[in-house]
Amino acid sequence: MNDYDYIIVGSGIAGLYTALLACKEGRILVITKGNIEETNTRHAQGGIAAAIGQNDDPELHFQDTMAAGDGLSDPEAVRILVNEAADRITDLVNLGVPFDTVEGEIALTREAAHSRSRILHAGGDATGEHIEITLSNRVRASRIPVLENCLATDILLEKGVVRGIRAFDYRTGSITEFGCRFLILATGGGGQLYKVNTGSEVATGDGVSLAFRAGAEITDMEFFQFHPTALHLPGVRPFLISEAVRGEGGLLRNRNGYRFMPDYSPQADLAPRDVVARSILYEMKKTGADNVFLDVTHLPPPVITTRFPHIYRFCLEHGIDITRDQIPVAPAAHYMMGGVRVNSWGETNIPGLFAAGETACTGVHGANRLASNSMLEVLVFSKRIMQKTGKTTRPETATPTPQAKDICCSLSERQPPGTVPELSLHALQQLHWDKVSIIRDKEGLTEAADILAAWQKILPRPTDRPTYELGNLVLTGRLVTEAALTREESRGAHFRSDFPQSSPQWQRHIIFTQTNKT
């Protein structure tokens, strides 16, 4: 009874949307380490990008995505993304996602680095929450089995082919093995690597760690996106202030009230996220402040309260009326653009193993994700996983061979530093925030890499959810740090102060694999 056609690990938009498709193709099981609603999807405010407006078309969306990717986006993957976008939006509408409308037409807004208004949203700034609720209700209504509070710990292989997953029920301490033909990792990203982050506590790099230990290829891990504007208040957990706020006309000002973004980019407040995040850091250092301000007080109050009800209410609860007060903001870790390397059908180099969502690296985002492309990527490539697997009875693999210019490597052996801090979640998050953050250099990255390698050697045997997650974060952190140390240039979200320019010779990918597969 433990054998399935599909096992899906994760219950965000990637896991639930895929489950709703897979239930028509065979016997399925969803495994999630929290409850079905405990995901990063709920925190997504901005929306979904799709070229469905009258003055827009997929070619413009393609050009914007390729430009944001800074030379590393895969043109084939981006073509697929933009050309299949409208059909996947129709899927969500048919599932019941209540996108906002104006006079009967889906409302579209603009975000940074988009040349058109093409962002669909729901509930103003509650898009992720509406999608998550809609999909989870559909999954329950479809009677899809969901195993909650169980953490996937190992991918089971037989002669190099997926045969199942091992899962740990941390409420009872029991470990169970489940067999499957196809295993789909949809566990989200690794935002908990960083002290300051906008994500859910569940984002601990689980899928990347699982896949790497099984022998899957992991790529582009140096490209971790930092959102420029998270609410910055003492004692308050970072709260995302959507990029759509600037898309609607919000302006960044320093502590002196000066609008500084035109000094850093001709696109000013609508420059790509990496540019805005670094500009804010420079401005904070210049003025001796630990934050800047996002100003929407010049906009009509009804526009603010209607378009951004969640942001308005959250700030008001903390003493800030954004219709009258400027919002204190600073950058925070936000999105992992690298991940498990997949082809245009979501396949990894391991037959039977697929990845979707933030766990996967489809090649769409390149060095810098274009705003609101992530949920679209989930829909497009999750659908393609089902189109591929629905036509075959046995696992196969067709991931593209790395190009000759790509760098294929494994995690290096490192000499432990003289002093190794005591391992804890706080210490790990502080290390990444200090040494593997928005601005990096060889000295800091080397120190972080040495400490992470030393920590990995002394990891305790996992016995509960926190210790399993800590082990996954250490491994994911090593992949991020080693990739950042290897890439001796600045490109997109990866900025090296000791190599501040991009270089044509680095227009290639860094791919990690486990040398001794388990």
Quick check: 70 and 368 in contact, CB under 8 A? yes
More confident position, 486 or 398: 486
Q: Among 164-168, 211-215, 452-456, 514-518, which is the least confidently predicted range?
A: 514-518
> How many of the other CB atoms lie within 10 Å of CB of 255?
16
Give the model's pLDDT for residue 168.
97
pLDDT in tens, 285-311: 999 999 999 999 999 999 999 999 999
User: Average of pLDDT values for 387-406?
Assistant: 74
* Beta strands across the sheet bearing 108-109: 48-49, 119-120, 108-109
134, 131, 121: which is closest to 306 by C-alpha? 121
Give the model's pLDDT for residue 393.
62
What CATH class does 403-512 carry?
mainly alpha
Give the model's pLDDT for residue 45.
59
Confidence of residue 35 (pLDDT cuts 50, 70, 90): confident
Average pLDDT, the chain: 93
Q: Among 109-113, 380-384, 499-503, which is the least confidently predicted range?
A: 109-113
Q: Left, alpha or beta for 113 (phi > 0: left; psi -120 to 50: alpha)?
A: left
Give the model's pLDDT for residue 464.
95
Give the model's pLDDT for residue 120.
94
Ranges of H-type helices in 96-173 = 127-141
Q: Which residues contact 468 (CB under 8 A, 6 or more apart)?
A: 151, 153, 168, 170, 462
pLDDT in tens, 264-276: 999 999 988 899 9
Catalytic residue status for 140? no
C-alpha distances (whole Å) from 57 to each of 79, 136, 269, 350, 381 are 12, 31, 24, 36, 20
Give the model's pLDDT for residue 508.
97
Q: Which fold has domain 231-331?
A: Flavocytochrome C3; Chain A, domain 1 (3.90.700)
The reply to whether 403-512 shares the fold of 231-331 is no
pLDDT in tens, 228-256: 999 999 999 999 998 889 989 999 999 99
412, 419, 397: which is closest to 481 by C-alpha? 412
Q: How is residue 504 annotated by DSSP?
A: G
Confidence of residue 518 (pLDDT cuts 50, 70, 90): very low
> How many of the other CB atoms lie within 10 Å of CB of 224?
26
Domain ranges of the chain: 231-331, 403-512
Structure tokens at 408: 């294929």
Pick the catalytic residue from 42, 88, 246, 273: 273
Report pTM.
0.94
Give the model's pLDDT for residue 390.
85
Confidence of residue 37 (pLDDT cuts 50, 70, 90): low
* pLDDT at residue 61 tops 60: yes
User: Average of pLDDT values for 174-193?
Assistant: 96
The residues facing 156 across adjacent strands are: 164
C-alpha distances (whole Å) from 451 to each of 208, 300, 448, 477, 515 are 20, 51, 5, 11, 21
